[in-house]
Amino acid sequence: MFSSHSAALIVEGGAMRGIFASGVLDAFVESRYYPFDLVMGVSAGATNLVSYLSEQPRRSHHIITELACSSDFLDPLRFVKGGDLVDIGWLWHTSRHRFPLDLEAFCARDITFYAVATDVNTGAAAYLPVRPDNMDQVLTATCALPVVQHDTPCVDGRPMADGGISDSIPVIEAYRRGVRRMTVVLSEPYGYRKKPPKFCWVVKALLKTQPALAQAMLERDRSYNRALDFIAHPPADCEIEVIAPPTDFPVSRFTQDLSKLESGYLQGYWLGRQSLLRAGDEGRRVPEQVA
């Protein structure tokens, strides 16, 4: 049985496209907008939520535009030579050093935080609680990309991969946990539909030692589109607000063009501000502490 939650913030991943969500969440932080008792993030969405819960605006922006644009993180030549295309561990641990988290603020809020990962052995989504004592393991696991990185992170002895493989937008899981009011931050424009994978035999060949994970990757479009269908036609007792990039969103999964990233951030920020206006945030804002 799950404890029931009334309101949730759900943030999709999308690698560098996460710059959009960082803008949305920075707008929320600036207005001290924390009306949620549950937050759920996937991959880059989960790392964005860490900065949101720590009340550190522009922290994620700095990580994406400085660290994630470095060849220490993304290096095609390193991949060609047999190394990792992306170094998730380097990015996470360097961000902890360069932009330390305010763990006091992170722990102060009574908000349950789950990151979604994919269990490599079963292909099923794993909803992992995020705490200061386990966040290094959980947040590298939710971002772990099969094939393009060699090491498979483990959480509680279970090998894990990117949560976007099994549950990119965990709205159905949130509803199962009792949530009836959701704010969902997407990484693709509203109306986007994921297409079935091409070259299925390649996926099976590359992941021949991890067949359940391969099957989850081949079924990802169905899982993703089921979540979109739920968002478009929620149950009668469920209210969903969607914040999605505009159709001219300039950022792709591996964009490192700073001008495009800044544009994507500002698009997220201003749509976050518009969301606050719609919500009438004055009545739901956490008041400043009086000295």
* Angle 46-53-102 from CA coordinates, rounded to 5°: 110
Cα 54 to Cα 71: distance, rounded to the nearest angstrom: 27
The confidence score (pLDDT) of residue 59 equals 97
**Does the pLDDT of residue 149 top 50, yes or no?**
yes
Mean pLDDT for all residues in the chain: 93
Buried b vs exposed e over 5-15: b needs ≥16 C-beta within 10 Å?
A: bebbbbbbbbb
SS3 40: strand
* Residue ranges per structural domain of the chain: 7-285
- For the annotated catalytic residues, the residue numbers are 43, 162
pLDDT digits (tens, 9 = 90+) for 205-227: 989 999 999 999 999 999 999 99
Does the pTM of the predicted model rise above 0.75? yes
pLDDT digits (tens, 9 = 90+) for 105-136: 999 989 999 999 999 999 999 999 999 999 99
User: What is the band of 201 on the pLDDT scale with cuts at 50, 70, 90?
Assistant: confident
**Does the pLDDT of residue 3 top 90, yes or no?**
no
How large is the average pLDDT for residues 161-178?
97
Contact (Cβ atoms closer than 8 angstroms) between residue 87 and residue 135: no
Its CATH architecture, for the domain 7-285, is: 3-Layer(aba) Sandwich (3.40)
Contact (Cβ atoms closer than 8 angstroms) between residue 152 and residue 209: no
**Does the pLDDT of residue 289 top 80, yes or no?**
no
Contact (Cβ atoms closer than 8 angstroms) between residue 142 and residue 167: no
